[in-house]
Amino acid sequence: MRDFKRETAALIAALPGMADAGIDEAAAFGILERPSDSAMGDYAFPCFRLAKAFRKSPNAIAEDIAGALPGGLFDKVENVNAYVNVFIRKDLLCAEVASAVRRDGDRYGGSQSGAGRRVIVEYSSPNIAKPFHIGHIRSTVIGSAIGNILEFLGYEVVRINHLGDYGTQFGKLITAYRRFGSREEVEKAPIQTLLRYYVEFHAKAETDPSLEEEARAAFAALERGEAEERALWEWFRAESLKEFTVVYGMLGIRFDSYAGESFYSDKMGRVMDELEQDGLLEESDGARIVDLDAYGLGKALITKRDGSTLYITRDVAAAVYRKEEYDFSKNIYVVASQQDLHFKQWIKIVELMGYDWASDCIHVPFGLVSLKDSVMSTRTGNVVFLEDVLTNAVEKTKEIIAEKGVLTDHAEETARQIGIGAVIFQELHNNRIKDYVFDWDKVLNFEGETGPYVQYSYARAASLLRKGAEDAAGAGGAESQDGAIDPSYLTGGAAYALAKLIYDLPGVVAEAGERYEPSLITRHVTDIAQAFSGFYHDEHILTANAEERRAKLALADCARQAIKNSLALLGVEVPERM
Ligand code: ARG
C-alpha cells in the first residue's frame, strides 16, 4: 500500500536547504506527526527544530515549506504557526484503500515484517486442580490475541501453556484425597471436588499439623516418582485438563504445547549444576538461594531445605529448554503484574548464568480483574468459574435477542458468537496493565464501545452488501464489485473519515505487535465501527447512480473486511446477520 506519510517526508526532504539542515527522508518521517484533530490535516510537520539551521523563526519556516511543497499529493497544504499541515488527496487515499483491501482480503492489515523469526507466546497457564476462574481469562485472552497479532505480522508463533501442574500443593491434594476423598466424587465434578478437598485440607491442618507433614512426604514421594503418588497426580491433571479444554473450546483458544511445570521436573539437575559452577548459589539455613540484593531484587530461593525445587527454579529450566528447543527470537510471558518480581528475578538469574538471550525473555504484565461486589479466593472456595461466565453470557444474549424479537435463523450460533465475543472484547478493551471490574451491564451493552456493537456494524455492512448485490442482480446483470471505482464519490466527510481509519489499520496492528497491546486494535476497530455508522447514516449508499453506488459499496466492503480482520486478531467471531 502507498505510504502517504513517507511520500510526504520525501517531498519535504527534497525542498531547498533541507539536506544542509540534516533533514533527509528518514528525519522528516520521524518529525511528521499525526494531528489529534483531523481538521488539522492528515499529517503535521512542526518546524521548531529547523530554526537554528535556517536561522529563521519556526513560523516563517513553516510558511516557506507550505508555499514550496508541490501539488499532486495534497488537496491542501497550510501553515498554522510553526506547523505545516498537509491534507492528502482524498481521492488518492480512498482509491488506495479500496485496492489494497480488495487485494489483501483476510490479510489486510498484516505484514511480513516478522518473517523468518520465531517467537514463543506463553499464556493462560492455569493451575491444575484449581478452578479456571474469571481471574484466568486475562492471560488467556490477551496472550492469544498477542499470538494472533504477531502471526499476522509474519512471525512464526509457538503457543505454550505453562500449566501449574507441579509443586507442594499436590502433596496436599494427595493427602486430602487419601484422608477424606472418594473416587466417585472426583469423577462426578473433578475440579469443584478437588477444590473442596484443598479448602478442607487447610481448615483441618489448622488443628492437625500432621496433615502438613504427610503432605510434604507425599510430594517428596511424587518427586521420587513413586507409582501411587504419580498415578493420583496424573489423574488429577487429566481431569483438570478436561475442564480447561472445554473453556478453551468455548473461547476458540489453542496451544502448540502444554509443557507445564512438571515437564521440567527432570531438567532441574542441569540448571542446579550450572548455577553451582557459575558460583551463583549460596547456602542459607539449609536452603539454597541466589543473592540478587545487588540488583535490588532480594534473594531468590532456589531449593528448599528438603532439596525440593520451586516455581522459580522451574522457570529458569523452562527458559533454557525453550531456547534450545525453539531457538526463539523472543520468549514472551503473558502473566499478571503481581508476578513482576518473580520475572525480574529469574530473568536476572538467566543473565547471570551468562545467557545473552536473557534480554529476549519478556514479561508482558496485566492488571487484576475483579468482580463487582465480591472477592475471589481459591483458599476459601469463593470463585466464579469462567465456564459459567461464558455460558451465562450466551444465555443473556439469547434473552436480549428474544426481547428484540429479531433473528430466528441461526439464533443459537449467533448468540454464542455475540455472548463469547462480548466477554473477550471487554477483556481487551482496556490497556492491559489497568485493573478493571467485570460488569455484566457493560459487557452486553449493544450501544456502547462493546463487542456486540462492533459485531453489529459488521453484520450491517454485510447486509448492505447483500442488498446491493440483489438490487444489481434485479436491475439485470450482476454488478461486480471488482475493478476500479471512481474515488471522487468517497470524498465526503463521513466517507473519508472511514477510509482514513481503514488506511491506518496496518500501522495500528504493527504498533500493537511492538507494544504487546491488543487494546490498540480494540479501540481502533471501535472507531471504524463508529465511522461506518456515520457513513451509513450520512450518505445515501444505494443511490440510483450506478458508479456512485459501486464506489460506496466498495468502501462499505472495505469497512466490513477491516472489522472482520481486526476482530479475528482479538479472537472474536463475526456474525453475518444480527
Ligand atoms: N501457574 C501460574 C499461576 O497461575 C502462572 C504461570 C506463569 N508462567 C510462568 N512461566 N511462570 O499463577
What CATH number is given to the structural domain containing 58? 3.30.1360.70
- Annotate 409-469 with DSSP letters as a single string: TTHHHHHHHHHHHHHHHHHTTS-TTS-EEE-HHHHT-SSSSSHHHHHHHHHHHHHHHHHHH
For ligand 1, say whether the CB of 333 is within 6 Å of any of its atoms. yes
Give the residue from 150, 74, 83 showing the smallest Cα distance to 112. Answer: 150
Contacts for 53-60: CB closer than 8 Å, 24+ residues apart: 53/17, 53/20, 53/21, 53/22, 54/17, 54/21, 57/82, 58/82
Q: What is the pLDDT of residues 269-282, one digit of tens each?
A: 999 999 999 999 99
Residue type, 495: A
Residues 76 and 142 in one domain: no
Q: Which of 185-194, 350-359, 448-457, 478-487 has the lowest mean pLDDT?
A: 478-487
Cα–ligand 1 centroid distance for 409 (angstroms)? 42
Examine the pLDDT at 354 and tell me if it is beyond 70.
Answer: yes
Examine the pLDDT at 375 and tell me if it is beyond 80.
Answer: no
Residues 331 and 182 in one domain: yes
Residues 25 and 150 in one domain: no
Position 63 in a domain: yes
Q: What is the pLDDT of residues 14-26, one digit of tens each?
A: 999 999 999 999 9
For ligand 1, say whether the CB of 164 is within 6 Å of any of its atoms. yes
How large is the average pLDDT for residues 9-38? Answer: 95
Domain boundary among 371, 388, 408: 371
Taking CA atoms only, the protein residue closest to ligand 1 atom 6 is 125
> Which band of pLDDT confidence, cut at 50, 70 and 90, is reported for residue 442?
confident
540 noted as active-site residue: no
Position 171 in a domain: yes
For ligand 1, say whether the CB of 127 is within 6 Å of any of its atoms. yes
> Which band of pLDDT confidence, cut at 50, 70 and 90, is reported for residue 129?
confident
Set 130, 172, 429, 524: catalytic member: 130
For ligand 1, say whether the CB of 262 is within 6 Å of any of its atoms. no
Helices marked H in 84-136: 90-104
For ligand 1, say whether the CB of 162 is within 6 Å of any of its atoms. yes
Cα–ligand 1 centroid distance for 126 (angstroms)? 7
C-alpha cell at position 471: 438490487
Taking CA atoms only, the protein residue closest to ligand 1 atom 5 is 125
Residues 84 and 162 in one domain: no
Cα–ligand 1 centroid distance for 162 (angstroms)? 7
Taking CA atoms only, the protein residue closest to ligand 1 atom 4 is 126
Residue 283, beta-bridge partner list: 288
Enumerate residues 6+ apart whose C-beta is below 8 A from 151: 157
The domain tally of the chain equals 3
133 noted as active-site residue: yes
Half-sphere exposure of 452 (CA within 13 A, CB side): 25
Give the residue from 394, 369, 430, 437 showing the smallest Cα distance to 133. Answer: 369
> What pLDDT was estimated at residue 306?
81
Place of cell 501449574: 164
Q: Greatest CA span in the chain, whole angstroms? A: 89
Residues 253 and 135 in one domain: yes
Examine the pLDDT at 377 and tell me if it is beyond 60.
Answer: no
The pTM score is: 0.93
Q: Which domain holds residue 542?
A: 420-570
Place of cell 466527510: 493
How large is the average pLDDT for residues 182-197? Answer: 90
Domain boundary among 371, 404, 434: 371
For ligand 1, say whether the CB of 335 is within 6 Å of any of its atoms. yes
Residues 152 and 65 in one domain: no
Residues 41 and 190 in one domain: no
Position 34 in a domain: yes
